[in-house]
Amino acid sequence: MAKPVLTISSKNYGAWALRGWLMCKLAGLDFVEKVIPPDDPAMKAEMLLLSSSMLVPSLQHGGIKVWDTLAIGEYLNEIKPKGGLLPADAKARAHCRAICGEMHSGFSSLRSSLPMNIKAHFPGFKVWSRAQADIDRIVAIWRECLGSYGGPYLFGSTPSMADAMYAPVVTRFLSYDVALDKACASYCKRIMELPAMQEWVKAAKAEPEEIDELDAEF
């Protein structure tokens, strides 16, 4: 049987691509990547925040095709239950799904004001009030999870679907020099130390500059 194929976009700019890719890695799925070109309409939709229905990333597994990052995560949890994408405890599992859903549908000001750009670093970046409100909410989510489940990841000792959903936010906080308390800064460091994240960042930094940021409606 052929390996599953995960279709993704830019590794430097593609926040949704990172989420789906990291979920596959955390679940232990042996897959191959298919990277769509920068001029592909699906790539531009993700980069410019214009798509109402994200078709990238998508996972082709045998005769099954799954798109939308949350759907990919739920599917991976079904086929790789030992991967730990969702917590074993029902209460924690519900909490995990809730904050994943919040990340999936919310924080639009953060997305538009601090777009993912792994190669970049903007010391002293001015964060406007609406984006700061999103940051404050994310920090509150992290603090609650780290306090409730003991860390070092959001739901305990191993990374989960929630960590994959918030991983692009970690890269944004680092790129835009967002001030964080010690616990949240340590959490960011732990996420960036994941072997899968190091693999992604290395590839992102090696990615050719083929996307014109000036075209993006930030």
User: Parallel, antiparallel, or unpaired for β 64-67 and 5-8?
Assistant: unpaired
Q: How far apart are CA 196 and CA 24, in angstroms?
A: 10
The enclosing domain of 104 has a CATH number of 1.20.1050.10
Residue where a domain terminates, one of 63, 83, 103? 83
Same domain assignment for residues 97 and 41: no
Burial class (CB in 10 A: 0-12, 13-18, 19+), 39: exposed
State which residues form the domain around 157: 90-200
pLDDT at 51: 42
Q: What is the pLDDT of residues 170-181, one digit of tens each?
A: 999 999 999 999
pTM: 0.91
Residue 142 belongs to some domain of the structure: yes
Same domain assignment for residues 48 and 102: no
Task: Give 32's strand partners.
Answer: 5
Same domain assignment for residues 73 and 94: no
Mean of per-residue pLDDT scores for the chain: 90
| Neighbouring residues of 120: CB distance < 8 A, sequence distance ≥ 6 | 175
Q: What is the pLDDT of residues 63-106, one digit of tens each?
A: 999 999 999 999 999 999 999 999 999 999 999 999 999 999 99
pLDDT at 215: 40
Same domain assignment for residues 95 and 196: yes
pLDDT at 121: 97
**Number of Cβ atoms within 10 Å of the Cβ of 55:** 16
